[in-house]
Amino acid sequence: MKYFIKADRFLLEKEVKKGSYLVVEDGHFGSFVDSLPANSKIMDWSGYTIAPGLFDTHIHGIDGHDIMDGRTDVVHGISEALLKLGVTRFLPTTLTSNKEDLNQAIKAVTDAVSTGLAGAQSEGIYLEGPYFTEKHKGAQNKNYFRDPAIDEFLEWQQLSKGTIVKIALAPEREGSMGFIRSVSERGVLVSIGHTDASYNCCTEAVDAGARNFVHLFNGMSGLHHREPGATGAGLIDQRAYSELICDGFHVHPDIACFALKTKQDKLLLITDCMRAGLMPDGDYLLGEFPVVMRNGVARTETGSLAGSTLNLIDGIKNLQQWSGNSLTEIWHLASLSPARSLGKETILGSIKPEKTADYVVVDDNLHVQATAVQGEIKYRKQDL
């Protein structure tokens, strides 16, 4: 199917395009044209902006669902809930748990994806843990922490039918460097997180192939002028991406802007959202931990932040407002940078000929009006 999109503006990688029509054909973007052939099919979004579909590479759940529930209906529920938020791609993310529950979560995602997701599409599984250390454990269960084991990972990879694309660990654990090299050589993105590692240890991990830092500033050794720690490594090492939760609670706005200036397009906007996202204040579970959400902030019983309830598009709004940088620059930190971190930038993440036609229709206040996956409108605001 071929159609032409009419809109006030299009957010491209380096510019805002106006006054043309965007071709969409067979689920992919084409070129811009200034005039239309006779009898063309037009998707008229006059008054609105067309932006690339968002890609959340770190999300545990939303709308009452959690990947660790280990059920296919939960995965489908997350997929569909994300559409109204402009998210077209995501990485279903696990938590540290016992092996049985992790196996079940992996199987549920794999089975759900194999039957086809109706909403946002999974680009692979993200194992957040279980190879962490206790000091910066956050809402991860220390009872299941252990040293990385390549045989165990390969069992999970086999169970997932080769769809695990990202794994987080603490690089100070015994055997980590060999594990990082082995997993990275298999095309899996290794992330550094929930760690008390030194700056030198983190640099060694990046040398071995790690290329991402989990939710920068949170769950890691802090920045000090004589020992930069994991935070310093995440800020300084331009070989690696760094995730950032821009909800105003996990990271102070001025520090978020500092990270943006330092990392630039190596910054990844994520949500780390858990099941309380889109839900009212109340009591929830994050894995095995009771969590209380008050005023949209989720915390464990001990007061630690427990993931977030952030919507990715709100993270964009926040960082754009805090920094004053252009919307197109900030938007692509939640679309193109995530795709690049996983080596998918040639097919996802921006509006460009031959890329997959994932896009979002937004108004001037960045309220989502419609979301398209592979050129097909999957969500449309009811009052349109």
CB crowding 224-261: b at 16 or more within 10 Å, else e: eeeebbbbbbbbebeebbbbbbbbbbbbeeeebbebbe
Cα gap 322→248, rounded to integer Å: 10
Of 111, 272, 283, 364, which residue is the catalytic one?
A: 272
Segment holding 82, helix H or strand E: helix 72-83
Cα gap 344→355, rounded to integer Å: 10
Cα gap 297→139, rounded to integer Å: 14
Residues 319/256, Cβ–Cβ less than 8 Å: yes
Residue 55 to residues 71, 88, 146, 260, 348: CA-CA distances in angstroms? 22, 6, 30, 18, 9
Count of H-run helices and E-run strands, the chain:
10, 22
What are the helix (H) ranges across 116-187? Answer: 150-159, 176-185
Closest C-alpha among 352, 205, 321, 337 to residue 270: 337
Residue 173, token pair as written in the block: 């654990």
Residues 342/57, Cβ–Cβ less than 8 Å: yes
The distance of Cα 111 from the centroid of its chain, to the nearest Å, equals: 21
- Compute the C-alpha angle 24/316/86, nearest 5°: 40
Residue 154, token pair as written in the block: 């390969």
Per the annotation, the verdict on 314 as an active-site residue is no
Cα gap 183→212, rounded to integer Å: 14
Cα gap 329→13, rounded to integer Å: 7
Catalytic residues: 272
